[in-house]
């Protein structure tokens, strides 16, 4: 799977309602009522936080 850069801005999150939330040692996943996701995770190779989304 290709790693894509994405930018999440506050304006794109305004008005969304969180329907589920999961936090582990390595990631935080937020699911919204419109079935989109925001993932914040630690990239082990670079030791940086990364963000991935689907349809935000």
Q: 44 and 31 in contact (C-beta within 8 Å)?
A: no
Q: 36 and 56 in contact (C-beta within 8 Å)?
A: yes
Q: 20 and 40 in contact (C-beta within 8 Å)?
A: no
Q: How many residues does the chain have?
A: 56
pLDDT score recorded for residue 29: 94
Answer whether residue 23 shows pLDDT above 70.
yes
Token digits of residue 11: 């304006």
**pTM confidence score:** 0.73
pLDDT score recorded for residue 2: 47
pLDDT score recorded for residue 5: 64
Q: How far apart are CA 1 and CA 19, in angstroms?
A: 27
Q: How far apart are CA 30 and CA 14, in angstroms?
A: 14
């Amino acid at each position: 799977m290709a790693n894509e850069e994405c930018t999440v801005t506050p304006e794109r999150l305004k008005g969304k309602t969180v329907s589920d939330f999961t936090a582990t040692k390595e990631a935080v996943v937020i699911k919204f009522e419109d079935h989109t996701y925001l993932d914040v995770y630690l990239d082990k190779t670079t030791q940086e936080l990364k963000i991935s989304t689907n349809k935000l």
